[in-house]
Structure 1
Amino acid sequence: MQQSDFYGEIKRVVKSHPATDNDFINRFSRGDITEEEFKRFSIEFYHFTREWPEILAKLLVSTENEDDAYELTGILVSELGSGDSGKRHELLYRRYLRSIGFKPEELVKREQLSTTKGWLDGMREYFSSDHAKALGAEFALENMAIPMWDKLLPGLKIMKERKYKDMDILYFTFHRELESTHEDAMENIIGVHSNDQKEQFISSAKGMLDLEEKFWLGLSDKK
């Protein structure tokens, strides 16, 4: 299988995975969630937003290939505001939280749901492991992002119209516009070549998405 064919096939696997096509996120996209589920989403997703740069840095420092590291650095710099600390992505999310009545500083040390912790710890484990496994996990995360935003944004707009008139959704709209560049960066990564590396890449990509699916289902009242 040619390298381009390999990445095309794994991208199709990623985009059809229930990580972005499950009961919770589908209900969210329709605005068919309870108030408690909406609040739970807002809080738990903040844990991801806060911890993601640190998790991504783990992948960067363990990346051997300089070209791969170059692309990953671009993604990390973007997360940190591309040179403008006031545009750090976590700060955009804090604006969202305040606009719906939360105090971000009170949520920083709030205990995570076990499914949230499992997802974030899983990222750290994959990103600190073998290079092919780490790249597979990152490839999965970056390529599931657009389908995820395309489910979240309609639901947020419904909630904004329904109750939260002052909701600031810039964090979400900004990321939807940005994600195509992150996907492109992953396409440029040298990545994996041997059959063994490809198997590790696929395994970790699927494993990462399995954890994300559990994250979404963990937000549901239907447990």
Structure 2
Amino acid sequence: MSFYEDIKNLVKNHPATNNDFINRFSQGKITDSEFKRFSIEFYHFTREWPQILSTLLVNTPNEDDARELTTILVSELGGEDPAKRHELLYRRYLRSINMNPEELVKREKLPTTKAWLDGMREFFASDYAVALGSEFGLENMAIPMWDKLIPGLKIMKEKYPNMDITYFTFHREIESAHEDATANIVGIHTDKEKNDFMEGARRILDLEEQFWLGLADKK
């Protein structure tokens, strides 16, 4: 099995996208408080992601790798249309479920959300192989994540008939291009780099798993 296949298997089988919370979400079996908590905490990720990704870009020495990362960042910012910036699509979602995004911007994050976002910043600014591994993990867990979130959101539209899920369906459509971009990253060669790359992916996915579990109602 190739290194690329090894890392893909790690990502696809990680409980970051196969855990109690996200599995219940996919079946529409979360409470109203869990749904609202998800909507708020995921907004922190959506809003801060371009800044986090730019940290990786400015620390990327390889020009070919930087080009691929730029493609992803430009997509996040709406390509040639600023009105399609991904955060704005998420704001539409929030308003459609009667949440005010302006009031949420400065809302304190849950500890598990903060740990996930801070982990991204830390890993993206660290050793290059660790940073690329973290980005690979995040981009390649995305399709399994959307495939859990979208069915759940469609079920919950029964409670929120005006819900606009364009943000989620749009991301599902473009995510293959993001996976392709990470597959083209070429700056990993030695055994140490490969181990660090794998470690970066594993560590960021561990934090993401805790992000999801942190959204559950406390019993």
TM-score of the pair, normalised by structure 1: 0.97
CA distance in 2: counterparts of 1:189 and 1:83, whole angstroms = 24
Return the letter of the residue paired with 2:200: S
Task: Look up the match of 1:67.
Answer: 64
Which letter does structure 2 place at the counterpart of 1:16? N
CA distance in 2, matches of 1:146, 1:34: 24
CA distance in 2, matches of 1:57, 1:83: 18
Aligned equivalents of 2:54 and 2:168: distance in 1?
Answer: 22
CA-to-aligned-CA distance 1:42-93 (integer Å, 9 cap, x gap): 0000000000000000000000000000000000000000021100000000
Distance in 2 of aligned mates of 1:191 and 1:116: 30
Q: For residue 43 of structure 1, what is the aligned residue in structure 2?
A: 40
Distance of 2:113 and 2:183 partners within structure 1: 28
CA distance in 2, matches of 1:129, 1:85: 30
Give the alignment partner of residue 12 of structure 2, picking from 8, 11, 15.
15
3-state SS of paired residue (2:141): helix
* Aligned residue in 2 for 1:219: 215
- 1:9 Cα offset (Å): 1.0
Q: Which runs of 5+ in 2 are unaligned?
A: none
Alignment match, 1:157: 154
Instruction: Give distance in 2, aligned partners of 1:206 and 1:157.
Output: 30
**1: CA distance between counterparts of 2:218 and 2:102?**
29
2:104 paired with 1:107? yes
How many residues end up aligned between the 2 structures? Answer: 219
1:88-107 correspondence to structure 2 within 5 Å: 88-107=85-104
Which residue of 54, 58, 71 corresponds with 2:55?
58
- Counterpart pick for 1:209 among 205, 210, 215: 205
Task: Note the C-alpha offset of 1:222.
Answer: 4.2
Gaps of 5+ in 1: none
For residue 155 of structure 2, give the secondary structure of its aligned residue in structure 1: helix
CA distance in 1 between partners of 2:163 and 2:217 (Å): 23
Amino acid of the residue matched to residue 103 of structure 2? E
Runs of 4+ in structure 1 displaced over 2 angstroms? none
Distance 1:46 1:191 in 2: 32
Aligned letter for 1:93?
Answer: Y
Structure 2 distance, partners of 1:157, 1:110, is 27
Give 2:122's match in structure 1, choosing from 125, 128, 131: 125
Q: Quote the Cα distance in structure 2 between the aligned partners of 1:23 and 1:66.
A: 40
Q: Which deviations, in whole Å up to 9, do the C-alpha atoms of 1:110-133 show, x marking residues without a partner?
A: 000000000000000000001100
Match of 2:178 among 170, 182, 202: 182
Query: Could you tell me how far apart the structure 2 residues matched to 1:221 and 1:51 are?
Result: 25
Task: Tell me how far apart the structure 1 counterparts of residues 218 and 209 of structure 2 sit (CA, whole Å).
Answer: 14
Q: 2:168 aligns with which of 156, 168, 172?
A: 172
Tell me if 1:30 matches 2:20.
no
Q: What amino acid does structure 2 have at the position aligned with 1:214?
A: Q
